[in-house]
Structure 1
Amino acid sequence: MTTRFLTVPGLASSGPNHWQTIWEVQYPHLFSRAEQVNWDWPVKDEWVVKLQEQISKLTEPTVLVAHSLGCITVAHWAQEYTSEFISGALLVAPADAELSKRLNFVVGFTPVPTLKLPFKSIVVASNNDIYATIGRSEIFARNWGSEFINIGRKGHINAVSKLHDWQEGKLILEQLSSFELSKETVQELS
């Protein structure tokens, strides 16, 4: 059975130059996006319910591909819900909602859940992410039972980081699925 992927963007969603969006465009038959009512004013209860609505419609094994506040949304979702179809999660640059200078802006996302996730997961972090220190990202990974990967100085691992279709991320994602994204990209470019 083919693995599907559900992207879970963070604040403001992911624009056209973000690797999440690029992957969705490259693989429309495999990727879909969890949508939110309001991408610019995140409320944890609303975001978790919207994620659950999307997950409840799944019929095949699916890997969550989260970025920033989307990672924290996944952690909260896993505390409240479960799905036999979620086979893993790639959690990229989890935003440290607890240390945000705008706590009233990320309503309900604190405290960040510390329970182990019930599926295989990988946390990917950067040494110079302005939204979470590498140490905090490593703590999130340890708490969630996730493999931890430090990819060096890549900022918030978003469009500003100029990663484009982020080949390194595809290789990491392959550890959570049976589909070889990087191989398919090479074949498409041939």
Structure 2
Amino acid sequence: MLSHAASSCASRWPPRLVTVPGLHGSEGGHWQSWLERQFARSLRVEQDDWDAPDLARWSHALGRLLARERGPFVLAAHSYGCLVAAHALQKGTVAADVVGTLLVAPASPEKFRFAGAFEARRLPMPAILIGSETDPWMPLEGAQRLAQQLGSAFVNLGDAGHVNTAAGFGPWPRAKYLVDTLVHCEAPRRLHAGSDFGVSDRLKLA
């Protein structure tokens, strides 16, 4: 028989998808827009000005969204949105109800220095970072290094450009598979009261 805490946790399952777009947002044909349609009650963080990146302000917008909605959540971020998500998740109040994070084609922090200083620190939940060998916004080795700094699993997508609409990434079943992977890895732990997971429980991909 489940304890009250475990029963409450199970009743809030599965997590809600939250997409975190990058510079200029993600249009209707983008894989993030497609992914939102694959999950019930999905959310998207909105920014006041999608053309004016600001790390602190954009991260605060994500924090406000998670604070006013009922979790748990799983994040799917793209490009500069990956830096925004990682920055926000370094704050315990934001990360508390996030069970997993998918980071796709992160933009190089050096290219966005003007938008605020970014410090890559280990994330407090399982994460998967996807890099591309032909991404103009982040060399593959930079993506690999960032994944290591964040403590995330790493996937090399090969010749995939910036993993956006221009590179042919509209409907993208693999993104849904990876989100489901993050959710399913966390589900057993959520059935036990107080079963918070730490670094030792991180998702490992071969």
TM bin, normalised by shorter chain, reads 0.7 to 0.9
1:166 aligns with 2:175: no
Deviation per CA, 1:32-61, whole angstroms, max 9, x where unpaired? Answer: 101111110111111011111001123222
Q: Note the 1:14-163 alignment, pairs <5 A.
A: 14-27=26-39, 29-82=40-93, 83-98=95-110, 100=111, 103-104=113-114, 107-108=115-116, 110=117, 112-163=118-169
Rg larger in 1 or in 2?
A: 2
Q: Deviations over 1:125-173 (max 9, x none)?
A: 1110000000000011000000000011110001111122111222222
CA distance in 1, matches of 2:173, 2:181: 13
Deviations 1:6-39 (A, max 9, x none): 0000000000110001122343x23110111111
Q: Which blocks of at least 5 consecutive residues in structure 2 are unaligned?
A: 1-12, 186-206
SS in structure 1 of the partner of residue 158 of structure 2? coil
- How many residues in Structure 1 have an aligned counterpart in Structure 2? 172
Q: Gaps (5+ residues) in structure 1?
A: 180-190
State the alpha-carbon separation in 2 of the partners of residues 54 and 123 from structure 1. Answer: 23
Residue 185 of structure 1 aligns with which residue?
none
Task: Measure the CA separation in 2 of the matches of 1:46 and 1:3.
Answer: 25
Conserved 8 A contact 1:2-1:60: no
Identity fraction in percent: 34
Is it true that 1:2 corresponds to 2:8 in the alignment? no
Shift of 1:5: 0.6
Query: Secondary structure at the residue paired with 1:63?
Result: strand
| 3-state SS of 2:50 partner | coil
Normalising by structure 2, report the TM-score: 0.78
Give the superposition deviation at 1:80: 3.1
Deviation at 1:76, TM superposition (A): 1.1
* In structure 2, C-alpha distance between the alignment counterparts of 1:34 and 1:81, rounded to whole Å: 18
After superposition, the CA RMSD in angstroms is 1.6
